[in-house]
Structure 1
């Protein structure tokens, strides 16, 4: 079966069954979205490529869940955003620890200006998260930092999935509102969506 012959609606079901041709088509369809998401923030082709690999390895690992996902593109973007955010935090920690920008090819992984913007964004984001009510904060961190599903958060916290959704939606709105004046950090602001 040619990758282009698989219909969009059947791709998640085929990937869930382990169909490598369908997975290849999924990869070809969404790799640019993932790469662009990662590159806009890291400003590093090498980091962006690693994130692409990590995202699609994650998708393959959780492939059985794909048929239940309503908006596959949004789901993949969310995974890409989370991996990008984690890579950025790792790069900043490495920079603070060594004073150098980690890179396999000797070039800076991210520019000093991007690093300064990233540090500022991280501080603003942490302030926004810290101002959330305790339960909203816990839900937000479990979903965004630990990458748990809303159902997993509900089970972990002993609350209903609807309550988790309400807390998460309210937390996202509050974080976006808090961070809105800092839109000049545009490459990082998109991570909130």
Structure 2
């Protein structure tokens, strides 16, 4: 039986290339702790460090036949672990960015939905108060604010004087201001 613990890194790498599982186990036992410490210093997280080292060893086993260890095995192993560390950091950053983006989207949708609900409620209150105006005043007011007709156009359309139109719109605004309050009145003026 071979004493794998006595083999050099180059001999172990050659045996690994030929598919020798015991050589792989010896390499793992020889360098696992050192690679783990290296990864832990980068992550400061036991699980992530362990995952990076295990992924590196899994990749080494999967690519054992094409393994290109030129000078030293430990340098090759550190490089493999370093690549896994960078991959993990990139995945973590991507995941954080995705979660932040998703949270922003949820916040915007929620805010937009809340605004939409408030706007619909406000519109319903305003429409209710406009409908409560006397008929002629309501008709003139709606032509002015909802149809955007000028006082002159409303006067011509309804066969009344411009002064009557002006007076009716002014009175309607006074009534709405009192009933809806200043805030709702200002919102209404911005909306229409």
Q: What's the TM-score once normalised by structure 2's chain length?
A: 0.47
Higher helix share: 2
TM-score (norm 1): 0.46
Rg (Cα) greater in structure: 2
Higher RCO (CA < 8 A, seq sep 6+): 1
